[in-house]
Structure 1
Amino acid sequence: MSNAVNNSRAPKRAKGREFKPREPYTHRLRKILEEYPDGSQVLREILQNSDDAKSTEQIFILDYNTYPSDSLFEPDLVNNYERTNLKLDRYQGPALLAKNNTIFKERDFQSLLKLADSEKRDQFDKIGVMGVGFNSIYHITDSPSFITGDKYVILDPHEWYFNGGVQFDFVEDKLAKEYPDQFAPFRTPCNKPYEGTIFRYPLRTDEDSTDSDISKKVYKPEEILDIFQKFYENESINCLLFLKYVECISFYELKEGSTEPELLYMIKLENAGKVRKQRRLIVENIVSMMNKLQSKTLGKNNQLQASYVASFSRQQKGDCKNTSSWLILNYLDDLNEAEAYFQDKFNKNIVEYKFVPNVGLAIPLENLNVTGRLVLIGVLYGQQQTMKTWRLMH
């Protein structure tokens, strides 16, 4: 009797309708692309991410080939697949490949899942923000994929095939044996882990642009070739001046029907072994220094300075190698003073804002009429460094 009375007095559960943001993933990507320039800027973002991953080599390959599609994965979203008649073979055509010699760590995977809140935000030895900068690649593609170690990942922001994306253990599951056409475009043995990372970006076609909610811009192989050329001519050696780990950047094209890619351009730090320690001095000490700053155990006179002469070369297919020497200075200012200034002016700490008072200066030694570089590597909320250039006169 008492239970019945108690139950009758129990308050009714309020019912309502779900009310929360439902912005599609593709819409957010489209907005990100508005903030990240097209063209060679995409290559710079890839290059910065490779440097943050401590890769020493970056390879770009323009692949003109279209690969077989008889043994591809079946989409998970079967109903959507049948409704739209979309097939994975649309991504077997020409593509840009970006290869480096570092295997993804777990934090790298997590960064790709965060559009505006990268895992790099609290990593003071990294400039880029992979969760944001990586997405600039959607200027040219709708479905990036990559192999790293024993993992294979397909990103599907339209949710046409795999509800946003999918990760496979391709070695353990022997997927390359069962689905050889799926892995053929990577052009590497997939029966064992890959000692590095290969990103593959299928170029957006006319058909893709019709369906895409990310971008309507179509990319032909010739346009990627033009981006390669502009990067080589305009960036020249400058792209390597203030990187910490990448020592060689090369550009290839794999023509239709060819078995081996053909080298187009190469930019290289020739005396890498000699200057490697100085080049990485600040980046390999900044994490421990920022931790000490946060725990208030950082001593006085904590500035760091590295100066060295770097020998760079650049070479275009059919031309001789052109070498130049640069005097490079990297300077980290007093972190205690920077912290005190931030506290006084903004009531904030530099750890929270990931502000590193780091300045780089590069001066060409052979020709003072060429453009020099000054870079302020202080980073605020993970934004790219600010670079200023000037022309040195006699």
Structure 2
Amino acid sequence: MEGEEFNPTEPYTRRLRKILEEYPDGSQILREILQNSDDAKSTEQVFILDHNTYPSSSLFKPHLNNNCQRGLDSYQGPALLAKNNSLFEERDFKSLLSLANSEKHDQFDKIGVMGVGFNSVYHITDSPSFITDDKYVILDPHKWCYNGGVKFNFINHELAEKCPDQFAPFRRIPCDIPCDELFKKPFKGTIFRYPLRDTTGSDISDKIYNPEDILEMFHKFYEIDSINCLLFLKYIECISFYELEKGANEPKLLYKIQLENAEKVRQERHFIVEKIIPMMDLLNSSSLNENNQLKATYVASFSRQKGDSKEPNSKWLILNYLDDLLETQTYFQNNFRKNIRDYKFIPNVGLAVPLNDLNVTGKLFCFLPLPIPMPFSVSVHGYFAVGAYYYYIECFNKYCISYIKNFF
């Protein structure tokens, strides 16, 4: 018996288009990049808007020859670059191959869970690329040049010397390594490059991005998000924004937001997140002690800088609390018939109290600020899920409100 086989698959680009239709544009893209860097335990995040267009005579030769409408030379123009000081891990590479299927779903020290955050960058680009350690990766969802993407070892094959134009857009980033030494040895960090979509014809998005749009994105982040984005993150201590103008040799600093007393509060900032994995393992093996609540309290001092002008420091009282995991597990099994491990329902709540300006409007957070203002100056953090909202409010009332009253 013979039959005609069929494969009910959906093009990668169509899936991305659907994700973007339900995923925010604008400065939300920067927050998603920031979240991924924090999950990678980076302490710094650098954004660079590069206005330049680079030569294209010595680029890689594409694997596919489809007489397509775009080659690698299409991505040598203006771009957003994002650099952090952590290496991309093998598990991270696997996440890139999946849509809405994150490798972080069982990593309880990570923020990400749904697997769609990175895909927000496709609002602005059709072909992201990045360098980490000795790897150079190009993602090609349209399969115009590669069959979805390709990963090179640029050290072993001396690719930066053989194809200098391919690496030219990465050479003028703020870095401690001299330009002529860059990419001759493994890079101790990760640099993402997002060439801006400058023409129609993409199956992912019809929106064209120009450098002015990215500048506006930077400005909104600094004016609206800024210090808020550092309040409940675990590792990021500095966020900076640069602009590399046409023909310039070095980028100029536009904005910087920094945790000034990082060395003093680093241990308290990491305290709960570094203990949550072994505690969840004990919970899974039914070995967790009944007395398993954790709390961390510290005063964080933040600064903001616009160009050469630095604002006075802003001090915040930060409270983080992990409630009883056994009690939480019982609650979710009885009310939702779910295990907290499977859905990452962690009873981790927090408060951020401004100490300099009590006129600040508080916000609701899930590590990063949500577009939901609070009716008071205190900001509230939690792993919020719609069905679990009232349980988190119980956790909040149980510890945080009484703590504020005692503090003041």
TM-score (norm 2): 0.88
Q: Please state if 1:156 is matched with 2:140.
A: yes
What do residues 268-288 of structure 1 show as CA deviations (whole Å, max 9, x unaligned)? Answer: 000000000110111100000
Alpha-carbon distance in 2 for matches of 1:387, 1:99: 29
Q: Please state if 1:204 is matched with 2:197.
A: yes
Q: Please state if 1:99 is matched with 2:99.
A: no
Deviation at 1:33? 0.6
What do residues 70-113 of structure 1 show as CA deviations (whole Å, max 9, x unaligned)? Answer: 100111012x0xx2253211100000000000011110111111
Conserved? CA contact 1:361–1:374, under 8 Å: no
- Partner residue of 2:311? 321
- Partner residue of 1:11? none
Q: Which runs of 5+ in 1 are unaligned?
A: 1-13, 378-382
Check 1:62–1:260 CA distance in 2 against 1; reply closer, same or farther (3 A cut).
same
Check 1:17–1:322 CA distance in 2 against 1; reply closer, same or farther (3 A cut).
farther
Alpha-carbon distance in 1 for matches of 2:373, 2:348: 14
- Partner residue of 1:270? 260
Q: Please state if 1:176 is matched with 2:142.
A: no
Q: Match of 1:336, SS?
A: helix
Alpha-carbon distance in 1 for matches of 2:194, 2:113: 19
Q: How many residues in Structure 1 have an aligned counterpart in Structure 2? A: 370
Q: 1:224 is matched with which residue: 203, 207, 214? A: 214
Q: 2:26 is matched with which residue: 17, 39, 47? A: 39
Structure with the greater alpha carbon radius of gyration:
1
Deviation at 1:35? 1.9
Conserved? CA contact 1:375–1:388, under 8 Å: no
- Partner residue of 2:391? none
- Partner residue of 2:273? 283
Deviation at 1:19? 2.5
Amino acid at match of 2:59: L
Alpha-carbon distance in 2 for matches of 1:260, 1:241: 31
Alpha-carbon distance in 1 for matches of 2:92, 2:109: 14
Aligned-pair identity (%): 67
- Partner residue of 2:344? 354
- Partner residue of 1:140? 124
Conserved? CA contact 2:132–2:186, under 8 Å: yes
Check 1:37–1:376 CA distance in 2 against 1; reply closer, same or farther (3 A cut).
closer
Superposition map of 1:241-320 within 5 A: 241-320=231-310
Deviation at 1:387? 6.2
Superposition map of 1:335-350 within 5 A: 335-350=325-340
Amino acid at match of 1:338: T
Q: 2:38 is matched with which residue: 25, 46, 51? A: 51
CA RMSD of aligned residues (A): 1.8
Alpha-carbon distance in 2 for matches of 1:349, 1:384: 26
Alpha-carbon distance in 1 for matches of 2:117, 2:154: 27
Q: Which runs of 5+ in 2 are unaligned?
A: 172-178, 379-407
Conserved? CA contact 1:313–1:323, under 8 Å: yes
Amino acid at match of 2:210: K
Alpha-carbon distance in 2 for matches of 1:322, 1:125: 32
Amino acid at match of 1:126: K
Deviation at 1:301? 1.4
Alpha-carbon distance in 1 for matches of 2:98, 2:370: 21
Amino acid at match of 2:212: E
Amino acid at match of 2:226: S
Q: Please state if 1:128 is matched with 2:115.
A: no
Check 1:119–1:231 CA distance in 2 against 1; reply closer, same or farther (3 A cut).
same
- Deviation larger for 109-118 or 37-46: 109-118
Alpha-carbon distance in 2 for matches of 1:376, 1:91: 34
- Partner residue of 2:403? none
Deviation at 1:384? 9.7
Check 1:120–1:69 CA distance in 2 against 1; reply closer, same or farther (3 A cut).
same
Deviation at 1:222? 0.5
Amino acid at match of 2:87: I
- Partner residue of 1:3? none
Q: Please state if 1:193 is matched with 2:186.
A: yes
Q: Match of 1:283, SS?
A: helix
- Partner residue of 2:175? none
Alpha-carbon distance in 2 for matches of 1:367, 1:67: 46
- Partner residue of 1:10? none
Alpha-carbon distance in 2 for matches of 1:371, 1:172: 53
TM-score (norm 1): 0.91
Q: Please state if 1:111 is matched with 2:104.
A: no
Alpha-carbon distance in 2 for matches of 1:197, 1:36: 24
Q: Match of 1:152, SS?
A: strand
Check 1:19–1:384 CA distance in 2 against 1; reply closer, same or farther (3 A cut).
farther
Alpha-carbon distance in 2 for matches of 1:130, 1:143: 22
Alpha-carbon distance in 2 for matches of 1:341, 1:257: 60
- Partner residue of 2:52? 65
